[in-house]
Amino acid sequence: MKVVVDEDRWLATQPPASAEELAERFRGSVRQGNLLFALVDGGEVAGALGLNPTGAAGVLALGMWILPAWRGRGGGRLLIEAALAARPPEAHKIELEVFPDNEAAIGLYEATGFEREGLRRDHYRRADGSLRSALIMARLFPAG
């Protein structure tokens, strides 16, 4: 499997990341009972989305990636819609973080009901030593 990690778009993962390392992360996430969705095109994995508990009751964290060649083709929306449809009834909020300059992703998140909540200023240290901020977004779901 070919693995491409876009250093400028992943918050928590930076190159080099081997296919086996990424596969083990997914296996571990499944073992923990997290919800995972894959975007597959022609037998090739083009992206994925995970919903993971945050430690706060009823709050899930969304993490998503789409390989560059598949961006802007509707796959991200499909992944988000599948995740929202599978949201456990006890989850009242789904949150995510995105780099503030990732306008395409922010637009997608806003189009699917996520709102801006805040900014983590200079929160993520990159491999080159630089610091990146992260925009916090979330979608709330009414009770009942």
pLDDT in tens, 47-60: 889 999 999 999 99
Asked if residue 25 lies in contact with residue 5, where contact means CB atoms within 8 angstroms, the answer is: no
**φ, ψ for residue 135 (rounded to 5)?**
-80, 130
CA-CA distance, 100 to 134, in Å (whole number)?
Answer: 6
User: According to CATH, what is the number of the domain 19-140?
Assistant: 3.40.630.30
Does 35 score more than 50 pLDDT? yes
Contacts of residue 113, defined as CB under 8 A and 6 or more positions apart, other chains included, come to 84, 139
* The model's pTM: 0.82
Domain assignments of the chain as residue spans, ordered by start: 19-140
pLDDT in tens, 65-123: 888 888 899 999 999 999 999 999 999 999 999 999 999 999 999 999 999 999 999 99
Burial of 97 (0-12, 13-18, 19+ CB in 10 A): buried
CA-CA distance, 86 to 126, in Å (whole number)?
Answer: 33
Q: How many CA atoms lie less than 13 Å away from 22 in the CB half-sphere?
A: 19
Q: Which is higher by pLDDT, 62 or 10?
A: 62
